[in-house]
Amino acid sequence: MIEEKYAQKVALAGGVPFLIPSITGDMELIKNTMSSVDGLLLPGSRDMDPKFYNEEPHPKIRPMSIERTETEFAVLNEALNKNMPVFGICGGMQLVNVHYGGSLYQDIYSYLDNLLPHEKGAPHDITVPGGTKLHSITGVSEFQVRSYHHQSVNKIGDGLQVCALSPDGIVEGIESLSDPFVLGLQWHPELEVTEISDRIFEAFINECRKVK
């Protein structure tokens, strides 16, 4: 199960994974739940309803439950209010971008031309600009990842910057310019057995250890 992969990576990096169920409509429960954790990892998912970034659904959208999306927005807001580290992966990165006021391409192949394959584990290179948090974590400017997505970031959210790009211009990473640790990656580092993947999860867990 993909959830197991996330948990394994967190545990291998020295953290204790804690899974949060969809608990919409009970903010007190959400606050109590978030008081028990030191960081938030938003995992990959199906597509959020585009109403969250003021668009009508595209025919190729693969909808996720509204309850899960609303829960993820609520726990993300609580994490940011507490200055917790936030790590978004694939759909989790997209949710972070929308939370900060950004938007998405609902289906990259319907809106953009001359794209590389980005689904079913397609391999491609990414570049990481110097001076970004992701570059300081990975220590490299270019490496290969595998993609499992048909959506991507369109408008960058306020206060975020791009920290990774694929050769065809798809945003592969975003990070906050002001929050202590808010990182989003479009690929799935939990599925990759690489030193770079380990560094990313270790950096997230190390930030979680700093939370008081």
Task: Quickly state the pLDDT bin for 129 (edges 50, 70, 90).
Answer: very high
The average pLDDT across 42-68 equals 93
Burial of 120 (0-12, 13-18, 19+ CB in 10 A): exposed
What whole-number distance in Å separates Cα of residue 178 and Cα of residue 166? 24
Does the pLDDT at position 212 exceed 70? no
What whole-number distance in Å separates Cα of residue 123 and Cα of residue 119? 9
pLDDT for position 25: 78
Strands (E), 128-170: 142-147, 152-153, 160-165
**pLDDT tens-digit series, residues 133-190:** 999 999 999 999 999 999 999 999 999 999 999 999 999 999 999 999 999 999 999 9
Which residue in the list 163, 188, 207, 208 is annotated as catalytic? 188
**pLDDT tens-digit series, residues 67-122:** 999 999 999 999 999 999 999 999 999 999 999 999 999 999 999 999 999 999 99
User: Does 72 participate in catalysis according to the annotation?
Assistant: no
**Helices 195-209 & 2-12, crossing angle to 10 degrees?**
70
Query: What is the DSSP code string of 12-26?
Result: HTT---------TT-
User: Does 208 participate in catalysis according to the annotation?
Assistant: no
Which residue in the list 72, 78, 175, 190 is annotated as catalytic? 190
pLDDT for position 181: 97
pLDDT for position 53: 97
Length of the chain: 212
What is the CATH number for 85? Answer: 3.40.50.880
Task: Quickly state the pLDDT bin for 1 (edges 50, 70, 90).
Answer: very low
Count CA atoms within 13 Å of residue 195 on its CB side.
4
Amino acid at 10: V
- The residue range of the domain holding 156 is 2-209
Q: How many domains does the chain have?
A: 1
